Chain A
Amino acid sequence: MARIGVFICWCGENIARNVDVERAAAQVAELPGVACAVAYKYMCSDPGQSLMRQKIVAERLTGVVVASCSPHMHLRTFRKAAAMEGLNPYLVEMANIREHCSWVHHDREQATAKAVELIGMAVAKVRCDHALQPIAIPVTRRAMVIGGGVAGIQAALDIADAGYQVVLVEREPSIGGKMAGLSETFPTLDCSQCILTPRMVDVGQHPNITLHTYSELEAIEGYVGNFKATICKKARYVDVKKCTGCGQCWNSCPSKKTPSAFDYNMGNRTAIYVPFPQAVPARPVIDRNACLHFLKGKCGICAKKCQAGAIRYDDEDQLVTEEVGAIVVATGFRLYSIGKEQSSDRTTGYGEYGYGRYPDVIDSLQFERLVSASGPTSGEIRRPSDGQVPKTVVFISCVGSRDNAKGISYCSKICCMYTAKHTMLYKHKVHDGQAHVFYMDIRSGGKNYDEFVRRAIEQDGARYHRGRVSQITEERGKLIVRGVDTLAGEPLTIEADLVVLASAMRSAGHVEELAQKLNVGYDEFGFLSESHPKLRPVETNAAGVFVCGACQGPKDIPESVAQASAAAGKVMVMFSHEQLTREPEIAKVNETNCAACFACVRACPYNAIDRADIRDRKGNIIKRTARVNQGLCMGCGTCVAVCPSKSIDLEGFTEQQVYAMLESLV
């Protein structure tokens, strides 16, 4: 027989003003199963909770209803208090008679009547409650970081320094990401490689980090704390263990005309190559689309030159599996493709700027390589068409960003800053040159950021024109940039030698496929969705999967690093426990009744329902059934609604409970 205690809160005057709490207590005391009903001024206060705990013991209560504020406010408080007296916390329910009653109904009679009904519904629910135990899940204390840019590096190092094993997966032959290709960084103008490459070396040498470069995540199974990742290590045709990174092979390779992806096609590389000299690991790969051995079956020079015997033309893609408990996604960004040809029909490109048609119209990452000391021109600014030093350079910001007509509505956030940086770097190298900037607004929020832009304008003489460029044409070796200066209210034409387009930041290619594998949400632009924009900025809706860096949205290096450390911190919190505990209010299958139609399997947004076999002692299959994976189920109940035989139910919100609540209203 149920013995339910009802505790009605006055909430000072908040409830008591419009609800006659004493009368309500007297009425609900008559309900079946109610052992006692009391009203108290502040149930959530210490004396209020003590009162509840005393009653639990004295009245030998089997369930509790607290009628007060929203369960989002205090359900946890009261469940905790009940647990202290040994009452299972899931036998405590709340009736919301403040937000949903006293605060919104000013007629005391009506409000009191409604409060009594709300309490009655909660009593009916508690009568059908049963004790639930938190679910314990073992944790593999090993993390996987996907993406080896500055964010991934930071996250991997933080987790590894905390003493946990990390598997770092990078698509390119070397870690380093976009930052490795940058020249100098705002707002301090310190050399990007000088600050990044030591950290890359730390990753390469860290005893707790397993590095898989030139690799991609093939498949993922499992759930929070217990993921099994299948990683495809692409064939390098070089035995990484034997190779010493001496450089004999790439220095003697006769195929030298492949555009270097690391230099954004501004320079060439050999067929066997390391993307850049400071690569980690400093081990080359062979590009089979450029290698004469693979194309024509000849050459083989690298194999002859290699004293370590590390060249392996018969190398193949390999699948390796790694067991990890948490995943950090740091896949970064790519730039908006400016040319007319577009991979997605959402974006339309800027045919009018002639990118791809005029060699001297380049994007911002290409300009970075042009000013980088390790770039194709060794840091001398020479334009791609004829190698001349450009005397007039036009920088155009917001190419793609904040332009609905071109398919992107958001601000890419970093372009104002790096454009100012570009004008400074240009002026520092070409003293008699003139930089022009076309901009919409200058957005330079951040520590020392606005001062930096002022310096570009005031000390380094960059001319800023507020307005857009309508067209770029080429005449007599000059680029004619036609735009408007909206502050002067005049059209403006500049004859430029080089044009640099600050194109929008987009999420990295194929990130949607990765997101689908991991069950992480993404927005219309392909940026991964955090669980809450303010309070859970690095968590995702997939438990155990975290995000950091530009894959989540446009951001600069300091922000990416901060977010990476935050994600690492979350992973460490997870790893600080031997087991994870999860809320037990999840779906449960009645395996005897289940007809194995698996409608629930298809409906589940978390892939949390498995097809399972029930076998007899001899191992013969007796029947098939759906079975809930307790590590994955988030308790939404979508499966319950689709089950035709009602063989699946949601703990805490069972069919019986909902019906009992309805019946209490009759």
Chain B
Amino acid sequence: MFLAFVSFFGVLVCTFVLSQIVPGDPAVVAAGRVPDPVVVARIRSEMGLDRPLHEQLGIYLSRVLFRLDLGRSVVTKRPVIEDLQRYFPATIELVTVSLFFITVIGVWVGVVSATKRNGPVDHAIRAITLSGISMPEFWLAIILQLLFARSLHLLPVDGRVAIDVLIGSPLKGGTNLYLLDSLFQGNWSFLYSSILHLVLPVFTLTYSLVAYVVRLARAAMLEVLGQDYIRTATAIGVGRRKVIYKHALRNALIPILTIIGMVYGFLLGGTVLVELIFSWPGIGRYAANAIFTMDAPAIMGVTILGSMIIISLNLMVDVLCALVNPTVRYT
């Protein structure tokens, strides 16, 4: 808990240092299109930009931590925190669905790989998953679009939901998580369209990241399968399936759990490119657009949000590990 806080604090210091290096004066930006020197000076003292650096750091930390103020986007002119709230649900949906598939497919394929160790199936799995890791997400996304959307017309090219569905049967408010909202409101055409739009981006993210889980699941399973109790279980006549999925997998799950935080970090990075190409209205595309306009506050905001998620996720994983395995103790 304490360490998580230290990490988060460090992340903030990091983004502070980076925002200090950014060329351009935030006071001038805030003053509007034609900056009046008097106004600039006033804003500068209001924002504390005329104070020494360590005081500015204090101001920055209290601003971010207590007022959730991440500054104002240079482009949208809105507070970054509002922009993040607006775009975040779309990213949560995309990333969570992807993480679900990465974990489920990854663990399953990893187990198969471990039980068929060094056989042709294992080699094939290794080649396929490694090819996923090596594929630039943006390139894979472009190819999938070309193939399934533009040539075969099986799936939509981009966006979150078809425009005629959005107009014909819109959602009534809700959390902006389209899958959940449309499910609860019984809006089936909306749900169907959302799912169709999710297929390509989710596939892109899953394929390019599943290797990390497969590799770890395989190694963890191999380690567990070599233990005495597995041999004992086999010896007393427990069926092979039951040994693998009940006795072994359960014990192999903990190391697999621990890399979820890491995979989530990769997902958040990868989603910048994927959202850009699939016009997915999430924080990834927000970040990508911020990059093209060199909108520093927006980029720092996305970075802080991403780290916050990963730190809390790692914390949750630690707690979960302690729950699953009572022998894990934190001192």
- Judge: A and B partners, yes or no: no
A contacts, CB < 8 Å to B: none
